[in-house]
């Protein structure tokens, strides 16, 4: 597959641009009853994700492409199938290459 299925990308599930940590990517999300969320991002061009922290744990998996995550200054290069756990309060940022798709699970509400 080269894209997430259409039902995952409905208009009502799109991450608002002002809540993106990476400029000019497309994200969609779902919220569970407990407030935790999952997000699905597609990067169409090489992009940088600004450094940020969360008040909850984060799990991510690279579905396709390459995503370099920086955690407290250390770089982790993720390719398709690679996973990463980021504990709450950890300073993180990253770089995605065009064509990269990632799935993130957040232990809290990431998108308002």
Sheet strands side by side (includes 101-106): 25-31, 37-43, 101-106, 58-64, 83-86
Rounded-to-integer distance, Cα 110 and Cα 112, Å? 7
pTM: 0.92
For 1, other C-beta atoms within 10 Å of its C-beta total: 7
What's the confidence (pLDDT) of residue 37?
98
What's the confidence (pLDDT) of residue 1?
87
Per-residue pLDDT tens digits for 34-70: 999 999 999 999 999 989 999 999 999 999 999 999 9
Share of residues in the chain with pLDDT > 90 (%): 86
What CATH class has 21-106?
mainly beta
Q: DSSP readout, 19-73?
A: G-SBTTEEEEEEE-TTS-EEEEEEESS-EEEEEE--SS-EEEEEEESEEEEEETT
What's the confidence (pLDDT) of residue 22?
84
């Amino acid at each position: 597959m080269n894209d997430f299925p259409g039902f995952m990308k409905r208009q009502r599930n799109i991450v608002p641009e002002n809540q993106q940590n990476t400029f000019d990517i497309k994200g969609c999300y779902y919220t569970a009853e407990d407030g935790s969320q999952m997000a699905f991002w597609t990067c169409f061009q090489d992009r940088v994700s600004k450094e940020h922290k969360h008040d909850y744990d984060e799990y991510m998996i690279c579905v396709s492409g390459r995503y370099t995550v920086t955690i407290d200054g250390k770089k982790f290069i993720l390719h398709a199938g690679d996973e990463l756990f980021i504990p709450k309060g950890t300073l993180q940022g990253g770089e995605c290459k065009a064509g990269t798709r990632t799935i993130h699970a957040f232990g809290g509400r990431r998108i308002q």
